[in-house]
Each structure stands twice: as C-alpha cells, then as structure tokens.
Structure 1
Amino acid sequence: MNKFEQLGLNEALLNAVADMGFETPSEVQEKAIPVLLAQDTDMVALAQTGTGKTAAFGFPMIQKIDVHSKRTQGLILSPTRELCLQITQELKQYSKYEHQLRVAAIYGGASITAQASEIKRGAQIIVATPGRMKDMISRGMVDITNIDYCVLDEADEMLNMGFYEDITDILSNTPKEKSTWLFSATMPKEVSRIAKKFMADPVEITVGTKNSGSQNVQHEYYLVSGRDRYSALKRLADANPDIFSVVFCRTKRDTQKIAEKLIEDGYNAGALHGDLSQNQRDMVMKAFRTNQIQMLVATDVAARGIDVDDVTHVINYQLPDEIETYTHRSGRTGRAGKSGISMVIITKSELRKIKGIERIIQQEFDAKKIPNAEEICEIQLYHLASKIKDTEVNAEVEGYLPAVMDVLEGLDREDLIKRMVSVEFSRFANYYNKTQDLNQPSASSEASSGEGSTRYFINVGSKDGYDWKTLKDFLREQTGLDRDDIYRVDVKESFSFFNSDAAHTEAILQLFSEFKMDGRFINVEISSNAGGGGRGGSRGGNRGGGFKGGRKRSFGDSDKRSKGAFSGKRRSFDGKKSKGHSTSAKKSHRKGPKPKW
C-alpha cells in the first residue's frame, strides 16, 4: 500500500501524488492529513519552512471540497504574492484529476477586476494575500461568509509584516462554524492571540520542537568590523565555487546596493525586494531557479515566495530586527531532507544576539573565521584541478592540437601543469596576498581559531554524495571519534576539509594511509592552513540589467571573445569593462578579484 494511501487520500489525489513523484509523506503531512480528513476541527501546526506544509493542508482541503458547488468553500491567506502564486500552483497540481475544482489567486500588483471575474466564475478555493483580500471584501467583490475552511499559512510572518488588523477583519467576515487551520514556523504572542480569538479547542501538532530550527542546517557566525562586512561576504563566496544562496539584508536599499556591487564585481547575483515590478520579480526568480543567479540578495518580505529546495547557503549579511525572523531565513536551506548552512556576518555589538537566536532555534552556532588568502587560494587551486580533470574533451579541438603542441614543445608534464594553473591562479593569489585579515577577536572566536587543531584535506565531496552532515558521520564511523572531535567540515564539489584536535592527527593519517572504498583510494592529507572559513560561490557570466545571468563559468573563461590578442572589449580583473589592454583610464586599485572559474 502507498504510504500516502495510508493517510486516507482518495484515488484522484493519489494519482496526482504519483505523477509528482512523491513517495513518502513528510512528518507534518503524516501528523496533519489524517486528523484533518477524519474530523472537522481547528488545528495549529508548528513546522519549519520547507517541510511540506502546503500538501499538509492542501490535500485535506481538496478532498473535502464539494466540486459540484461553485460556492467559495476554502480560503488560504499567505504573506506575499510569490507565496500566494506558489500555493495556487501546487494546489492545481494536487487537484489535476479533480477537473471541476477551481483555485483562484488574489494578490496585489494584478488587475483586481480580472481576479473578481475569476472568483465569479466559480472558485471553490481562494488563495490570497491579506491586503488584497481585505480590499476585495470592502468592495463586495468576494463573499467568504459561507466558507467551510480557512488556512493561515506562515502566520507568524504575516503578523511580523503588520497584517494583524487585516487578518482579524478578514476572519470577522467568515462563519464561526468553519474549520481554521493555522500553520506557522514559530509561535509568538501575536499568533497565540489569533488562535485564542478565532479558534475553538484546536488540535496542536509540532514537527520538531516549538520555534526550533531545522536539524539539517549548520549555523555559523563570522565576527568582522562593520566596514568589512561586504569584503567578508565576497570572501565567503570565494571560499567555495559551489554556492547557491540567498543573502539577506534588512532594507530594500541595502538589498539593491549589495546586489549591484556583487554584479559589478563579477558575481552571479540578483536583487529581490518590494520595489521591483511583478515582471522584474518574475525574471529574477526564474533566473534563480535555473541557477543563472547563484547569490540572490533579498529582503525578508520578498524572500517569503522563494521555494527552491537546492539552496546550499543562507547568508545573513545583516541580522533581522526580530530574532524570530532568523528561523524563516535559515529555513530557506536544508529543505526536502537536504542539509544546508546558515552564515551570519556580525559585528561585536551584535554578538549578544547570537545567544538569543540559539535559545530560539535550540542549536548552537559555530564561531568561524573569514577565510584568509592562503585558504581561499588552496580551495580555488583544488577546484581548478578538479575542473580540468572532469572536463569532457571537445572533439573540435583536435584540428588545433598540432599547432598547440608545437608551441608547448619542450615542456614536461609537471612544468605544463604548473604554467597552466598559474595563468589564472597567480592573479587571484596576488590580489588576496595584499589583503588584510578581516576577523575581529573575541573570546569565542579565539577559542576556535584553530590553535591545537589540525586541518585536513580529503578527496571526496558533494559529487560523491556527501554534505557536511553525512561526511562528518562517515569520518566519525571510520575513526571512532566522538561527534565533537570532528568539526569545521566544509564540503566542496570534489573535495572537502575537516578539522580535529592535533592529538588525533597521527591516528587519522595512519587510518587513511591505504584506505579504499568501492575500489577507490580515499586520501586524507594535512591541509596547508588550519583555517575553516565558510563555503563559497561561483561567479561570472555577462553583466546584465536587473540580475547577473549566464552559465556557470570555469577557471579561465573569458567574458567576451576577442578577435586578436587584445582586440575587442574584455572585462578587467575587478569586473569593470575596458577596451583592449589599455589601463590608462583605470586606476590600479581593484574592488575585488575577478578570476574566471
């Protein structure tokens, strides 16, 4: 028997589930769906973002709706238009075999008359943002006085956004005998007030611990001076070529400014905030979902509509004003059973907030250091070597090889490799060798600075199926060390790093001296530095308008093809465009590195 069938879903929904490839219900679905199907009851469900909440309330609502009636029977309130559209799209997928079921999305930024017409045609379920819904009620464009079900999705976020009065006004227009289902990541006082006022003896389910963070997310903070915040962001990106992240800022102005600076410095970045038109937002989100944007800089409000399961990092460029909001931010990664990392860039004055967040998420932060020049260069060198090894040979290059061989005649294998790597690597190394240490000293950061610790390189990474969590488990299993003895695990695409206390060094190196798994040697070596900074990102592509688009680029890519050695437009090392090879118009000061990998 299908595991979803055990929850009590009907054949139409089970067919839709099969089409979408769902095999095992999430914890919130297992707990909520049977209860909501079996009885008409109010419910408070506490679960993190990305745990499958839409299906948890969507399946029961679809199954209980009378599709033969055109009356509006279900109302779902969500905080943003992106999330509203996302929920609507998912409900339509779930109900694809319920041919008479209609779902309407009601949100600002679109024609209110067109939305009213869609409702009049017979929408049994309305998904709406509070502001637009209240407006339509006041104009008499929608009737919710006879609905049977009402869902408050992301309730804490709606209230954080100031929708308390709108929500209470909307709920006051609904019948008392309806079923109200409240879904929230956290349970602040305002959410409790709504529950007490509009719900009667609700069933409460909790996935994890109240207000806790996902166990799949590793939390890290980096202590820097306020003036070095942007430089720290770039180094965290440079420390690993595989980043796919959301970078959070507090204001729309900062969001736009940081995104523009990243684009100017050559990163695949884009901005998402409330001042963008709907068309601009759609373009940015499409680019992000297709990995054309790898660093999406967003405000908390705009990010509510992001539903991407593969986000590797959340970077808190600035901490939110409300500590509870951190839970929503970190919930953008570590979704769908995958692991992720939440990084916080903070100054000394903000350090006290970390303890407050730890109490809420019930997890501890790792105090980590911004990567130094040596570590970044080491990571990028390994990445370049991996890219070269994994590159598929283009058959068209065969015709050029005789001439190339003539040029390279006399170079042995080792010398050729050194020269090839040095072409791009030297520029990157020269830039970072002139930069300062960005880390600010503190008791906790000094304690974890790497003193008495050994940093190791291991030749497995994400392409071998590892993330920081599973690699840590693998190392513990092989070495017999305790959980806390293996730390600062940073997984890259084809290699990784980890730390242990120096007392374990000899045993670890001996264990992996001739270690084989599935016929392959697993090599562990002492890294050239004892760092352990963040993970990082890819950059490049052609500079665009609203976002940094383009393919992922490898070490040595050019921005433009040139007809001659120095002809045409090329992008300089700092991301600026210059004609030919002249630098007279540009000063030597560089905003940041522009390697082409």
Structure 2
Amino acid sequence: MSTFQELGLSQDLLNAITDLGFTKPSEVQEKAIPVLLDEERDLVALAQTGTGKTAAFGFPMLQKIDINSRTTQGLILSPTRELCLQITNELKLYGKYCKGLNVVAIYGGASITEQARQVKKGAQIIVATPGRMKDMINRNLVDISKIGYSVLDEADEMLNMGFYEDITDILSFTPDDKSTWLFSATMPKEVATIAKKFMYDPIEITVGNKNESTSQVSHEYYLVNARDRYQALKRLSDANPEIFSVVFCRTKRDTQKVAENLIEDGYSAGALHGDLSQNQRDLVMKSFRNRQIQTLVATDVAARGIDVDDITHVINYQLPDEPEIYTHRSGRTGRAGKTGISMVIVSKSEIRKIKSIERIIKKQFEKKDIPSGTDIVEVQLMALANKIHTTETNHEIDKHLESINELFADTNKDELIKKFFSVEFNRFYNYYQKSKDLTVSESRGSDRDGGGRDYGKSTNDTRYFINVGRKDGFDWMKLKDFLKEVLELGRDDVFKVDVKDSFSFFNTEKELQEKVLAFFTDYKHDSRFVNVEVSENRGRSGGGRRDRGRGRDDRRSGGRGRRSDNNPRGDRRSSGSGNRRDRRRSDDNRSDRHSNDRADRKFNDSRGDRRSSESSSSTSDRPRRSRRR
C-alpha cells in the first residue's frame, strides 16, 4: 500500500488528510491502520517517536466510533499534559469533517470543573493523563464503562513515571471486551508485563527493531572533564550557528540552571520542566515553535509533549538514568523524514553508559572532539558572510547612501569588509582567542566524576570528612544537594559523596578547599554544629584503617585534630564505643559497595527490575562504584 486511500479510510478522514498535506502513510500507519479497521483485536505497536503513531491509532478510532452517540467510546492515556493536548489537537484536525465529534483533554494543571463540563456535553473520545483521569473517576465525573477502545500511548514512559497502579485502576472501570491498543517506542519488561495483563492475544507490529533508534539520526559523543560540561555545551552551540536544539538534563534544578546560564551568556534559550505552571509551559513551547527560542533546555518528562519537526540537534547535557530513555530523547530530532544529530556530553566515568546505549539502539556512537576556539571563530565568520550574502536589499537605505559613501570615501573595499564583519566577529574572536582545549582523551587522566581515579595517586582534589550521615536524614544525593546549596557550588563541584551512618566523605577540586573549610567554621545545621575537615585517608571506602586508628587515638587523648568519629567538635563519649563504631563503619562500607555495584548493574541490565535499586528514583547523579570513590 502506498496511499491513504488504499488503507480503507472513510472519505471524511481522507478529506482531512488532504487538508493536512499528508501524501503517503508512514510505516507504522501502513501496518496498523488496516489491521485496526478490519478486526476487533488488541494490538502492540513498537515504533520510534516521530513516526506518526498518533495517526496510526487516531484514524481507526475516529472511523469506528459512533459520532451520533454522546457516550464515551474511546479512551487514550498519555504520560504528560503536553502530549495529551497534542493528541487532542491532532484528533480534532483528523476529524474536522466528522460532524458532532467531541474530543476532550483531561490533564492536571487546569480546571477539573471545566473539564467535567466538557465531558458532560458528550465526549466520544477522552484523552487523559493517568493522574487526573483517576481523580475524575473517583469523583464520578466521567463514565468509561462503555468504551470500546482504549489506547496506551507512550506506554513505556507512563510506566517509567510510576503510573502502573493508576493505569491498572483506570482500566478496571472499562469493559473486558474492549480493544486495547498499546503504542510504545521501547519494549522494556514492564511494558511486556502490562500487555500480558490487560491484553488478549495481541497482534504485534514493529517498525524497525525493538528499542532501536531511527536511521535518520546520527549519534555523537564528546568526552570532557565534568567541570567543563557547560563550556562544552556552549561550544557545540556556537559551532552550529543554525542550531535549533533540545538540551536534556536529568533534574528540574539543572534544567533551570543551565537555561538561566545560557540566557545570561547571550543565548536564545528557555527551560521546560515540571515546576513551571501550565501557562508558563505553554508560553515556552509557543516561543520554541516560533523559533524565538533557539535552545530549549528540558527534562525527559516535560519533553514528551514536544512535537516540532525541524529540531536539528538533541544535546544530552547529562545522560538519562535509564538507557531506554535515550531512545526517546534522540527521537526529538530526525522527524518527518528529516535528518538530525544526537550529541552526548560525557565524562570518563560515563563511557560505559555509551556502550550500554549502543547495545540497545543498535547504533554506534562517533567520538568527536569539542570544537576549538579557532574552529568556532571560522564557522561563525562564514555563517555571518553567508547571512549577509543571502539577505535581501532594503532599498529604504538608498536615500542614505550619499552620506554613507562620504563617510567611507577614504576606505577601500577590503578595509570596508573587515570593518563591517568585525562588528559581529570581534565578539567571538575576543571570547575564544585564548580558549583551552576541552576534549579529554580516554586514556589520559580522569575526570572529577570518579571515572576510575585512584585516590592515592590524585593530587587535583581534596577529600573531606563531615560529621553528618544517614542518622541525620542524608543519603548521598541529599548530602550532595545540601553541600552545593550552602557552598553555592556548581552541580559538578561536589563529587565522590560517600554517606555512612553518622558521618560522610566528599570531594571537591583542591582550589575550593579554602572556601569549604572557611564556610564550615562554626556553621550550624538544625541547631547542630557541622564540622568539615580534610580527610588524610584516601582509601576506597573513605574510612580505612588509618582513619579508624587515628580516631581511637584522638578519643583516648581528647585531641581535636583530624579525626573520623561522629563528633569531631569534642563530644566526650566513652572510648569504649570505639570498637562498636568501627564495626559499624566496616558494615557500612561493605553495604555501600554492594549497593553501588547493584546500581551499576542495574544500568547495564536495563531490562532488570528497576524497582530493585534505590537509584531508579534518583533525580540527580547515579551512585558510583565504591572503588571509584
């Protein structure tokens, strides 16, 4: 089949397709639409983002429902409000000639009363996010007991976001004989589980290979020191003057910070994350679609609703915690038959993640060097020349030519061109003329994230003891965030955080040592003194024999020098508690090593049970192997 007419669609839908300018169905549409029209069957469709999945389930649903009935007959669940609105708008466009069609979007962040009113008018199709849909069911504001078709769109992402129980509860209110259509970009274990539980003998359609990235996207990675990550991002943007990109961060905090830094540095950027109101998100997306924003910095969840076909680059400022999510990220570019580039900025400790992603997407990454200052200056100069060359002449200038010619009467052509280009060119030249090389060799040195660094041999960072730990409510992530906030440091300035029961260790670059020690002089947290001291022992677990022995000596002598017990400020506890404390530390060290090893195995074994690792819910750094601390 090569045309929509051959798929068996009604004339009303074909008229809408003509208006939309669709000429040829995509592969997933060509495979799914005839099956869904001809049979009342459950279906699992695996296809990448941007391949036309909405039309693949939208056209069959619109053709099969009874427009003359006010009963809700179709339910579509999607992970985010942006995607919910996107699907709703597309269905309305597809059904523009279907008189009496009412498609209603139900999502959080908007008036539940107004949404209930729209449903009460008679919504044949409801498009909803799981959380708000469950809320409306509990309030008896919707009735889905008679639906004939349910769609789980972006099923893998809904499950990654923790919607399994909500989906289970929602589907329990639907009839058993309905048809369920599951659409997903990847097929992890959880999606297979939900398909088995809620579907009967489903037909499976796969476009490409499972979890495989689209062939329209090329994949590149750039190896830098973690502290140079932001500078690398700026250089990649400057080296591509026509870039129209989405930059992905793991957390809302990092997303906002990177966007603010870019704006402060003169870039056209905006942030998209869950802490923004719906109105703010709509304004950001409108600016991005209109290209008033050239770089959109986003979290994975917020970006699920981005439907822009002309994105040239996806830049992974930080890799996702789950390797399958990379497939969704890279799917933001290379849409609608166009090509795109997915870039990853990594430190040495993250190289293993690149290898894991390569196995999943069945594509190879190309290692590239961060552009040098000289390269960027040349690229920007030629981009400016091309822009001037293709600019249409404004003849309103003609009346001023005589005065301009008089001003430059003594300037020859070459000198005039140099002056003209220098107006814009000098900015890049002055910034990059003394710039350093940011690219790191895989075989040279190591980065601050702990990529195999041997504590005993490193002289570029300082390891500290701090007298707070798990008993004070800290885990490694909370302690890292606490230190970054109180010390006003960047995201990568605190690393190798190792939390024990009543004390912890962390590292910074040596140049920050004076600032750290000065800040924690007489500093109180929750009415308790927090003491930070340089740790002499730099062994694997951060609390080796020398620290323990020194701690016992300090307790016996009452000394107040460097120590590794729970109260460096002089809490006079019985020295008899030392052995118990030492045993606890040894247990803590073993426990932490096992915990961190499990976290690393979890990433590499991406189809394992994500709930088995506490790191799966992390919104910041993933824990590192203890040998790297």
Q: What residue ranges of structure 1 are gaps of 5+ in the alignment?
A: 446-597
Which residue does 1:178 correspond to in 2?
178
Shift of 1:41: 0.1
SS of residue paired to 1:175: coil
Which residue does 2:75 correspond to in 1?
75
Cα distance in 1 for partners of 2:444, 2:217 equals 21
Cα distance in 2 for partners of 1:260, 1:423 equals 26
Query: How do 1:299-378 residues align onto structure 2 when only pairs under 5 Å count?
Result: 299-378=299-378
Instruction: Say yes or no: does 1:84 pair with 2:84.
Output: yes
Which residue does 2:127 correspond to in 1?
127
Shift of 1:166: 0.6
What's the CA shift string for 1:298-339, capped at 9, x where partnerless? 000100110000000001000011110000000000000000
SS of residue paired to 1:355: helix
Which residue does 1:440 correspond to in 2?
440
Cα distance in 2 for partners of 1:415, 1:122 equals 72
Is the 2:377–2:429 contact (alpha carbons within 8 Å) kept by the matching residues of 1? yes
SS of residue paired to 1:88: helix
Task: Report which structure shows greater RCO (CA 8 Å, sep ≥6).
Answer: 1
Shift of 1:444: 11
Cα distance in 2 for partners of 1:444, 1:80 equals 43
Cα distance in 1 for partners of 2:36, 2:163 equals 26
Cα distance in 1 for partners of 2:87, 2:177 equals 25
Instruction: Say yes or no: does 1:426 pair with 2:429.
Output: no
Shift of 1:430: 2.4
Which residue does 2:64 correspond to in 1?
64
The aligned amino acid for 2:205 is I
Instruction: Say yes or no: does 1:116 pair with 2:111.
Output: no
Which residue does 2:396 correspond to in 1?
396
Shift of 1:418: 2.4
Which residue does 1:142 correspond to in 2?
142
Query: How do 1:190-269 residues align onto structure 2 when only pairs under 5 Å count?
Result: 190-269=190-269
The aligned amino acid for 2:340 is G
SS of residue paired to 2:104: strand
Which residue does 1:381 correspond to in 2?
381
Which residue does 2:272 correspond to in 1?
272
Cα distance in 2 for partners of 1:191, 1:159 equals 7
Cα distance in 1 for partners of 2:419, 2:16 equals 56
Is the 2:249–2:318 contact (alpha carbons within 8 Å) kept by the matching residues of 1? yes
SS of residue paired to 1:127: strand
Cα distance in 1 for partners of 2:384, 2:17 equals 42
RMSD between aligned alpha carbons? 1.4
What's the CA shift string for 1:283-303, capped at 9, x where partnerless? 001000000001000000100
Query: How do 1:398-417 residues align onto structure 2 when only pairs under 5 Å count?
Result: 398-417=398-417
Cα distance in 1 for partners of 2:115, 2:63 equals 24
Cα distance in 1 for partners of 2:291, 2:333 equals 15
Is the 2:316–2:343 contact (alpha carbons within 8 Å) kept by the matching residues of 1? yes
The aligned amino acid for 2:420 is M
Is the 2:268–2:294 contact (alpha carbons within 8 Å) kept by the matching residues of 1? yes
Segment of structure 1 superposing worse, 329-338 or 385-394: 385-394
- Cα 1:444–1:316 change in 2 (3 A) is farther
Shift of 1:443: 5.2
Is the 2:221–2:365 contact (alpha carbons within 8 Å) kept by the matching residues of 1? yes
The aligned amino acid for 2:290 is T
Shift of 1:405: 1.3
Instruction: Say yes or no: does 1:288 pair with 2:288.
Output: yes
Cα distance in 1 for partners of 2:43, 2:155 equals 13
SS of residue paired to 1:55: helix
Cα distance in 1 for partners of 2:430, 2:312 equals 29
What's the CA shift string for 1:135-158, capped at 9, x where partnerless? 111111111111100000000000
Cα distance in 2 for partners of 1:418, 1:83 equals 49
Cα distance in 2 for partners of 1:117, 1:444 equals 64
Shift of 1:384: 1.5
SS of residue paired to 1:324: helix
Shift of 1:423: 3.3
The aligned amino acid for 1:381 is L
Shift of 1:2: 8.1
The aligned amino acid for 1:105 is A
The aligned amino acid for 1:240 is N
The aligned amino acid for 1:275 is D
TM-score, normalising length from structure 2? 0.70
Cα distance in 1 for partners of 2:387, 2:104 equals 47
Segment of structure 1 superposing worse, 284-293 or 140-149: 140-149
Query: How do 1:507-546 residues align onto structure 2 when only pairs under 5 Å count?
Result: none
Cα distance in 1 for partners of 2:96, 2:388 equals 46
Is the 2:218–2:342 contact (alpha carbons within 8 Å) kept by the matching residues of 1? yes
Cα distance in 1 for partners of 2:89, 2:390 equals 38
Cα distance in 1 for partners of 2:281, 2:170 equals 27
The aligned amino acid for 1:180 is T
The aligned amino acid for 2:330 is S
Cα distance in 1 for partners of 2:436, 2:284 equals 34
The number of aligned residues is 445
The structure whose residues are more often helix, as a share, is 2
Cα distance in 1 for partners of 2:427, 2:238 equals 14
SS of residue paired to 2:182: strand
Shift of 1:197: 0.3
The aligned amino acid for 2:220 is E
Is the 1:367–1:444 contact (alpha carbons within 8 Å) kept by the matching residues of 2? no
Is the 2:2–2:25 contact (alpha carbons within 8 Å) kept by the matching residues of 1? no
What's the CA shift string for 1:462-507, capped at 9, x where partnerless? xxxxxxxxxxxxxxxxxxxxxxxxxxxxxxxxxxxxxxxxxxxxxx
Cα distance in 2 for partners of 1:16, 1:362 equals 37
Shift of 1:96: 0.8
Which residue does 2:94 correspond to in 1?
94
TM-score, normalising length from structure 1? 0.73
Cα distance in 2 for partners of 1:48, 1:382 equals 36
Shift of 1:395: 1.0
Shift of 1:411: 2.5
Which residue does 2:107 correspond to in 1?
107
What's the CA shift string for 1:353-412, capped at 9, x where partnerless? 001111111100010011001110110111121122112221121122112212212332
SS of residue paired to 2:150: strand
The aligned amino acid for 2:187 is M
Cα distance in 2 for partners of 1:255, 1:293 equals 15
Cα distance in 2 for partners of 1:433, 1:324 equals 40
Shift of 1:11: 0.6
Which residue does 2:40 correspond to in 1?
40
- Cα 1:200–1:353 change in 2 (3 A) is same
Cα distance in 1 for partners of 2:377, 2:158 equals 44
The aligned amino acid for 2:30 is E
SS of residue paired to 1:303: helix
Instruction: Say yes or no: does 1:156 pair with 2:156.
Output: yes
Shift of 1:420: 2.1
SS of residue paired to 2:34: helix
Which residue does 2:10 correspond to in 1?
10
The aligned amino acid for 1:61 is M
What's the CA shift string for 1:26-60, capped at 9, x where partnerless? 00000000000000000000000000000000000
The aligned amino acid for 2:391 is T
SS of residue paired to 1:28: helix
Segment of structure 1 superposing worse, 427-436 or 253-262: 427-436
Cα distance in 2 for partners of 1:61, 1:424 equals 54
Segment of structure 1 superposing worse, 402-411 or 145-154: 402-411
Which of the two has higher C-alpha Rg?
2
